[in-house]
Structure 1
Amino acid sequence: MTTDRGTVYGGTAEGDTVDGAERGAGIEVKPVAGHIGAEITGVDLAEEIDDAVVAEIRAAVLRWKVVFFRDQKLDHASHVAFARRFGEPVVLGRRGSASPPGFPEVETTADRLELGGRFGMDHDEWLRRRRHTLLRGWHCDHGARVDPPAATVLRAETVPPYGGDTTWSNLAAAYAGLSAPVRAFVDGLRAEHRLGVGYQARPGDDGYLRHLLDHQVASVHPLVRVHPETGERVLFVNGYYVEQIVDVSRPESAALLEMLLEQAVRPEYTVRFRWEPGSVAFWDNRATIHLAPGDNAHLGFPRTMHRVMLTGDVPVGVDGRPSEPLTGTEAGRW
């Protein structure tokens, strides 16, 4: 079905709906929120899954933007093998010491805990200087690149007994929820996405600021991108990477971004997931932004997650224009 808000897709590639749960290919897809999120049961991700199940999972990701699996027994090898059924895993050029050395596709979130220390900051200070506004933490993965990842598969190894939830928002629903005049206006805008936007420098010699400048990544993306698989229009905005809307003044840009970010993270467009050991989240990085938890650092509980990202394409706007690299963003370079 096509509307002036973009193409709307419902259901899955195969299967029917019974009491809110979509069934097909031997698995069950059960939506968990009105606009985003579904839990999938009836599949062991550590085993070799057949093409029909792969198609069903892919359809669920496209429809619900993020899907969740519980009680999985993945290790690094099977994590990568599962992700590879849906695309080519990203190989990162730089990882921390917590990431497994024999699996360059796998990045461990515990790496972030050591990053601030490399530049003379504890983790709390590093977060404060990076997240100085309420919406700053919302992001898609590697959104400053000219070709951001298409999807992310994140699995939980160790989680706190409480706290540590992750939240996702559906950017296609956020775009559709704008009024028609505003949709028509933002369809033609573009924005600069830059690594380290808004970082508050430390007094004196700031090693992390030098690090950001030495490894700068920036691109100009359409503010509304057309999803390459569903045709949906997606409000391509987030608090972590967006520098400003181009071709408008900075005050105009600030006001527009505040409005659009607030639209993007309205509660009705979000889903929050409670992690357990063995949980897996698989999300469409082209159509969502997510917020890592900020309620567990003071508790002192370990939280170890592993992610594999899938290589994406260059976003294209409503007018057919692709994103443009500014620095450090040649396609395929990680």
Structure 2
Amino acid sequence: MQMRTLSGHTGVEVTGLDLREPPTQETVAALNTAFSDHSVLVIRDQHLSPPQVLAAVELFGAVFHQHNTKFALPECPQIHYISNQDFFPDGRRYIPGEGWHTDHSNDTRPPKATVLHAVQLPDRGGDTQFANMQAAYDALPERIRERIAPLIAIHVYQSTHSARKLMGLSEANKERVPNAVLHPITRTHPETGRKAIYINPIRIEGILGMDHKEALPLLDDLLEHATQPRFQYRHQWKPGDLTLWDNRCLLHKANGDYDHAQTRYLYRVMLQGSVPN
């Protein structure tokens, strides 16, 4: 097994590993350390069935049950699919992951990580961009850090302020998804102790005790700051990539800049997280 960093702050590539075979304890420890240190782990050249994906993902933690079961694989419902071949009821194409966000922050215990396994990809395009929210926090002026330190954001399934619209929930899913949860805007990573900006334009409805006229510009300013190119790693997918990223300290977004006559299809699994603090 070999590892190579992918940018100065985010991402490490792993080669020479076949997750169809059980790895040694030393290998599992090295993978988890690399994930904690680099926030994105890209394991190349994997060719895994859904049960094999589950076995590989569980090397990093317990599986989190995703909110919208519309995309669950019937034969393996803990795994969902990401595809450009789904459409909204009005006929518009649904591109999963558009717009900067962190996954399922509207849960009381948002998933610590998301894993995608590339099954079928277009010839070009469809990159995933990541913004390192720890590096962005470190670069904030001290006065801004002090301002946001006590702030609590209100997270919902679909923010009324979001330009991106999500696929609707079934009535059964609505019953098990919280109406609203509260999370700090400054989040401390439970493993590294590093602080990060924790925002989500798709999910945040507002800031507790703050008028929207003040809250929304502040959130916009934080997003603009955090998504500067200097804080980004852009992942160019290759067939067989198994990519794991840390939702606790990253934003990400998918790009729909490819030929939609070609299929983009990936398996998705999430891992259980803790209450943000």
Taking structure 1 as the reference length, the TM-score comes to 0.75
Larger radius of gyration: 1
1:108 paired residue number: 81
Of 245, 266, 275, the residue aligned with 1:305 is 266
Deviations 1:38-60 (A, max 9, x none): 11122212210111111111111
2:240 is the alignment partner of 1:266: no
d(CA) in 1 for partners of 2:239, 2:228: 29
| Cα deviation 1:23-42 (Å, max 9, x = unaligned) | xxxx3221111221111122
Higher strand share: 2
- Is it true that 1:174 corresponds to 2:136 in the alignment? yes
How far apart in 2 are the matches of 1:93 and 1:257?
A: 25
- Residue 196 in 1 paired to residue 158 in 2? yes
Q: Does 1:84 align with 2:46?
A: no
Q: Does 1:38 align with 2:12?
A: yes
Label 1:182 to 1:92 Cα distance change in 2 as closer, same or farther (>3 A): closer
Q: Runs of 5+ in structure 2 lacking a partner?
A: none
Q: How far apart are 1:275 and its partner, in Å?
A: 1.2
> What does the per-residue CA deviation read over 1:70-120, in whole Å, with 9 as the maximum and x for residues that have no partner?
211211111100111211112346423x6422212100013x754613xxx
Q: Distance in 2 between matches of 1:238 and 1:251?
A: 18
- What's the CA shift for 1:208? 4.9
> CA 1:29/1:114 → structure 2, altered by over 3 Å: closer, same or farther?
same
In structure 2, the residue matched to 1:122 is 91
Task: Tell me how far apart the structure 2 counterparts of residues 285 and 241 of structure 1 sit (CA, whole Å).
Answer: 14
Match of 2:48 among 62, 74, 78: 74
Q: 1:123 is aligned with what amino acid?
A: R
In structure 1, stretches of 5+ residues that fail to align are: 1-26, 317-334
The equivalent of 1:58 in structure 2 is 32
Q: Cα distance, 1:195 vs. partner?
A: 1.1
Which residue in 1 is equivalent to 2:211?
249
Q: Which residue of 2 aligns with 1:19?
A: none
Query: Is 1:289 matched with 2:251?
Result: yes
Equivalent positions of 1:144-159 (< 5 A) are: 144-159=106-121
Shift in Å, 1:186:
1.0
The separation in 1 between residues aligned to 2:229 and 2:20, in whole angstroms, is 33
Task: Tell me, yes or no, if the aligned pair for 1:66 and 1:282 is still in contact at 8 Å.
Answer: yes
Which letter maps to 2:199?
V
Partner-residue secondary structure (3-state), 2:69 = coil
For the aligned residue pairs, the C-alpha RMSD in angstroms reads 2.7
The number of aligned residues is 273
> What SS does structure 2 have at the residue aligned with 1:104?
strand
Amino acid of the residue matched to residue 197 of structure 1? S
Residues 270-327 of structure 1, C-alpha deviation per residue, up to 9 Å, x if partnerless?
Answer: 111111221111111111111011212x5321000101111111111xxxxxxxxxxx
Q: Provide the residue aligned with 1:277 in structure 2.
A: 239
The TM-score with structure 2 as length reference comes to 0.90
SS of 1:263's equivalent in the other structure is: helix
SS of 2:57's equivalent in the other structure is: helix
- Asked if the contact 1:34–1:268 (Cα under 8 Å) also holds between the matched residues in 2, the reply is no
What is the CA–CA distance in structure 1 between the aligned matches of 2:37 and 2:140, rounded to whole Å? 20
User: Partner letter of residue 69 of structure 2?
Assistant: R
SS in structure 2 at match of 1:308:
strand
Q: Alignment identity in percent? A: 33
